[in-house]
Structures are given as C-alpha cells and as structure tokens.
Amino acid sequence: MKNFPTSRVRGSSAPSHCMAKLGAKNAGWKLGWLESVFLGSLGLLALLQWSGFRPGLKILVGAVSILSGLLVLGRLGLLGMRRAIWRLRDRLLADFGVAIRECSGFEGLDGRYFRVAVRPEADNARLVAALAAVLAPKRPRPKRPRGTPAVMFQGASSNAGKSVLAAALCRILRRDGYAVAPFKAQNMSLNSGVTPDGLEMGRAQILQARACGLAPEAAMNPVLLKPSSETGSQVVLMGRPVGNMDARTYFARKRDFFATVTAAYDNLAARHEVMVLEGAGSPAEVNLMAHDIVNMAMAAHAGAGVLLVADIDRGGAFAALAGTMELLPERDRARVAGYVLNRFRGDPGLLGDAPDFLFRMTGRKVLGVVPDIVDLGLPEEDSVSLKAGVGFPLRTGAEVDLAVIDLPHISNFTDCDALAAEPDAGLRLARAPGDLSGTSRPDALILPGSKNTLADLDWLRKTGLDRAILELTGTGRCEVVGICAGFQMLGETVADPLGLESKGRHAPGLGLLPLRTELQAEKTLRLTQAVHGPTGLEVRGYEIHHGTTAP
C-alpha cells in the first residue's frame, strides 16, 4: 500500500477525497476487491459495499479522509491500465456526468490511480452506481425494496416525549385508515411486557402497537436493554435474552445487532403502509454517533423524515434544538424535516419570534406546538419521570396512603398505575426510613420489582429501610405487598449462582415469608390469566422472571 497525497478536511461541509488504484489481473472488465484505508466517509463505503463491492475496512485516527484500494480490470500492461483509466474517466463523464481525476501526475503514483471527492449521500450514490455500471455491468447486485413511507421522532434530549407523540401519531394514522406500525430499534428500559407469542419487548412499543390496533411483536423493538448495574445491562434481542453485557462489549457487537434490527424493520415495513419510528436520547451525542443504531442510522435505513422534539417545559428548548442541528453531520441535518415543541403551557403566542429566529438559524421550521397534557394515564417508557418525583399524581387527603419503595433498579413500576388511577388512593415513593414512620406511616407498603434483586436487597439494608419494613409489619396496621422481585425479597433467601444480575451470589431475604428463590439461566416469558376469587372476574397478566420461588 502506498502513501497517498491527502486532503485535510475541517467541518462537515468540505468534501473529503477518495483515492483508488487500478491493477492487472484476469481478463475483461471484472470488478475484484477493494482494500480500503478510510476515515470520515463511511457513507460512501456503505454504498460501495451494497453495490457489490467487497471492501475490507480499516479506520485510521486523524483529520485525513482517504479511500485507497485495488480495482481489478484485467490483463493490461501499465500503458493499457492508463488507457483504462482514461476510458473509465471518459465514460463516467459522458454517460453519467461524473468526473474523476487521473493521478499519474502525483508523486509516487501512476496511471493506475484516480481520485474522487466524497460528497453528500445522493452524490455518493450516483458515483457508486456509475462505477458499478461501467466496471461490473453484469454483476448481480441486491435491489433495495421500495421504501414504506416513514416518519421518525427524535429528541433534543431524553424524556422529551417522543414515545407519547409516536403513539399519538400511530393512533391518528390508524383512525385515518392506514395500516401503520411502530418501531424502535433499541430501547433502554426496565418497563417491559410479554407479546402473545411469549417474547419480551418495551412497554412503550406495546402501547404504540395498541394505538395501531395491532398485537405487539418483538420486531417492533428488536433490541431491549435492561440495566442491571451502572455499567451493564441484560440484552434482549428479538424478545429473547442473549446475555449481560457492559457498554464496551455491547458497542463491539452493535454492528451485528444492527443487521438484526434492519431485518426486523424491513419485515415489519413490508407488511404495513406507514411506519412510525422513535429514536432514543439525542442523535447529537457525539460520543455515540459512530455506533448509532437507533437514531440517524435507523432513519437513513428507513428513509424516514425526522421530527426533532424538544420539551419546552424544561426550558432551553430552542438552545437544545439549535445545538443538536449544529452538532449533526450534514447528511443527518438533511434528514430533519422540522421541530416539535412539546409540553407547552399557556398561550403559544408567547413564543413570539423565537420560531422564526430558529428557522433563520437552522433552516428548519417549528411544525407544531403540543400542549402539556397532565394525567394522560399512559404507562411511562422508563423510570426517568419516576426518579424525578413526577411518576404518581399527588393527592392530599386521600383515604388510603400507599407507599412504594423506590429501589435503585426498580423494574416495571407501571404495575402500580392501576392503584394510582384510584381516586381515593394516594400513591407516593419511599426512599428513606422516615418516609415510613410516624405520621408518614402508610396504610400499605409495596415492594416493587427489580432488575438486580441482590443489589437492591443490599441497598435496603444500607439505608435502614429493611428495619423500617420489619417494624411496619409488627404494627399490624400496614399491609406489605411484594411484586415480582419484591415478593422474592420478602422470603428467606435469594440466590444468583450464575451471576445473572449481579456479582453477589447469595443473600438472606427479609424473612417475612417462608420462601427461597434461585435465579436460573432460562427466562420465563408468558402471558397468564386467572380468576379473582371474591368477584369471579377474569384477571390477565404476564410472567417475566429468571428461576423459581418455592417454600
């Protein structure tokens, strides 16, 4: 491999350069392989690969963007190869209006090399199609299926309200007679549910599926991350757990996961008329862009226009929108169709000329202002709002006081939503012993589910909440209820011999029930139903757990 002249590129609008070398091997116009040294032009490489090229890829660290490699043309001498370059140059210009530069005049190069500029996505696609037509006219190449119309909600921050807006648009399109389906490539949440075929997916996409009038299916949320520690998560792929991974391990496997994600999307899109996609966090997280599979990478695959959502109730919405656009690469900015200001309180006229200022600055308009709607009664996607203290409605003077322990790894806290909907019940979070004693003594205490049972048991002991719970049971005036992992914590022991959730392997429970729990490799995922004894009413639910609990 030679040292090539380089073009230093600063800023997203300047074209970077690609260098290619023509060699002699085999007869005729046959395209061989392209060995590439490449930085900053992944879009062009992706197009080359899709078009039938088979590049090996090596990323170099630096400010230079170069593509260098070998295109096999046939048994041609050096003079013949130079003529081949001229022929290629002339045909590209005459037939396709594409110009390449022959590089024999560069020091260290000869007539086997040519150079092109790496330009915006549409121009790159035009270049690659022209090269393929000239160099490999008979090579079969995969055909892109006709894209299903798609729109995508992305956020200027986390918890901007994307999930609810996506569900709302799904419902509107459904009522307008469209066969619509939701999609979120990757969801990080401890609020999950079970599909009719016994697979696990995020609760937000289950809600969106219901809004579309569909039964939920794992393809709508192919990757679900369930955090079990500060640095690791259980990875659920197409509804089945594939293991616990730290961030570095997960990032290394994202490329493989993205193939599964796109296949799931393509299958879903082929069966529906419109797709409504949701991103995650912000697309402008510069430390995550290189291995993105849920925001702009997914928008590019789906050909979706992007609506960028900002929560104006938090403040800083215009700065967040402008900053997001500033940080996005040019190709991604081009996908943004406009902005949505979410959770606005008051008269939209008070926005003044701020939307016009944003348009002048970024070239995109504010397409909608969505009012703040309280008490929607829809399940939350994750615990962000809950941890911020806005998860349950505040009801002073309620007849029944219900306290929920706010575990660090609280899971499926939406199980308590039914209680929050009762008008005479007050539901609140308890985070310290003082929240359960004296005038704060509740009528009932709920120990909810957890994604790290042993770690949360340890937290109960460190905070003194374990003693507070035991004292409550001794009064005889407080009902203690355990849900899922909370139920397991009320037993005598909890064992995790395989380390499925934490490094801890065994710990005593609170000893309130004669039960022993052992986590096992196989994860139980199923819908269940029963009959409520006092009323005879049918009760429906689901099971999501590892292992067994028994006397």
If asked whether residues 345 and 402 sit together in one domain, one would say no
**pLDDT score, position 245:** 92
Establish if 10 belongs to a structural domain.
no
Q: What backbone phi and psi angles, to 5 degrees, belong to 9?
A: -125, 130
Tokens representing 362 are: 């970024």
Residue 261 lies in a domain: yes
Beta-bridge partners for 236:
224, 241
Question: CATH number, domain at 492?
Answer: 3.40.50.880
| 365 and 394 fall within a common domain | no
Integer Cα distance of 424 and 38 in angstroms = 64
Domain boundary among the residues 78, 107, 135 is at: 135
Distance of CA 491 to the CA centre of its chain: 36
Q: Are residues 182 and 311 in the same domain?
A: yes
Whether residue 68 is contained in a domain is answered as yes
Question: Are 360 and 279 part of one and the same domain?
Answer: yes
> What CA–CA distance (Å, rounded) separates 483 from 77?
77
Examine the domain organization and report whether 181 and 116 are in the same domain. Answer: no
pLDDT of residue 12: 34
Per-residue pLDDT of the chain (551 residues; tens, 9 = 90+): 333 333 332 333 334 445 554 444 332 333 332 322 233 344 444 444 444 443 332 322 333 333 333 333 333 334 455 566 778 788 888 888 888 777 777 776 666 667 766 667 777 778 777 877 777 777 666 555 568 999 999 999 988 999 999 999 999 999 999 999 999 999 998 889 999 999 999 999 999 999 999 999 999 999 999 988 777 899 999 999 999 898 889 999 998 999 999 999 999 999 999 999 999 999 999 988 888 999 999 999 999 999 999 999 988 999 999 999 999 998 899 999 999 999 999 888 889 999 999 999 999 999 999 999 877 777 676 555 665 555 666 677 789 999 999 999 998 877 888 888 888 988 889 999 999 988 889 999 999 999 899 999 999 999 999 999 999 998 888 999 999 999 999 999 999 998 888 776 889 999 999 999 999 888 889 999 999 999 999 998 888 888 899 99
- SS3 assignment, position 22: strand
Q: Residue 421 and residue 377: Cα distance in Å, rounded?
A: 8
- DSSP-assigned letter for residue 8: B
Q: Residues with Cβ < 8 Å from 190, sequence gap 6 or more?
A: 226, 227, 382, 383, 409, 410, 411, 412, 451
Order the strands of the 538-550 sheet from edge to edge: 506-508, 493-495, 516-531, 538-550
How far, CA to CA in Å, does 532 sit from each of 143, 479, 537, 539? Answer: 55, 19, 5, 6
325 sits in which H/E element: helix 317-327
241 and 389 in a single domain? The answer is no
Same-domain status, 431 and 489: yes
Q: Kindly state whether residue 144 falls inside one of the protein's structural domains.
A: no
Residue 209 lies in a domain: yes
Residue 152: how many other CB atoms lie within 10 Å: 28
- The C-alpha atoms of residue 275 and residue 353 are separated, in whole angstroms, by 33
Q: 317 and 175, same structural domain?
A: yes
Q: Is residue 4 part of a domain?
A: no
| Residue 230 token pair | 């500060």
Q: Where are the alpha helices (DSSP H) in 220-316?
A: 247-270, 296-302
What is the spatial distance between Cα 192 and Cα 224, in angstroms, rounded to a whole number? 9
Last residue of a domain, one of 332, 349, 371: 371
DSSP string for 389-415? T-SS---TT-SEEEEEE--TTEE-GGG
What is the C-alpha to C-alpha distance for residues 256 and 253, in angstroms, rounded to an integer? 6
Instruction: Give me 330's structure tokens.
Output: 């040019």
422/492 same-domain check: yes
In a domain, 541, yes or no: no
Q: Which structural domain, as residue segments, surrounds residue 297?
A: 150-371
Based on the fold, state whether residues 358 and 392 are members of the same structural domain: no
What would the two tokens of residue 331 be? 């190709």
Q: Residues for the chain: how many in total?
A: 551
Which pair of structure tokens corresponds to residue 308?
């960028």
Q: How many domains does the chain have?
A: 3
Edge to edge, the sheet with strand 186-188 lists: 186-188, 223-227, 232-237, 240-246
Q: Would you say residue 2 lies in a domain?
A: no
- Plot region of 243 (φ>0 → left; ψ -120 to 50 → alpha; else → beta): left
- How far is 281 from 388, CA to CA, in rounded Å? 17
CA 543 to chain centre: 24
Query: Residues 182, 69: one domain?
Result: no
Q: Which residue has the tokens 């520690």?
A: 229
Instruction: Specify the pTM.
Output: 0.74
Q: Which amino acid is at 378?
A: L
Here the CATH number for the domain that contains residue 248 is: 3.40.50.300
Enclosing H/E stretch for 193: strand 192-194
C-alpha neighbours within 13 Å on the C-beta side of residue 446: 24
Same-domain status, 210 and 352? yes
List, in sequence order, the alpha helices (H) in 366-428.
384-387, 417-420
Which of these three, 76, 102, 135, is where a domain ends? 135
Q: Where are the beta strands (DSSP E) in 211-349?
A: 223-227, 232-237, 240-246, 274-278, 305-311, 336-344
* CA–CA dist 24, 1 (Å, integer): 15
Can you tell me the distance from the alpha carbon of 219 to that of 546, in angstroms, rounded to the nearest whole number? 23
pLDDT of residue 33: 26
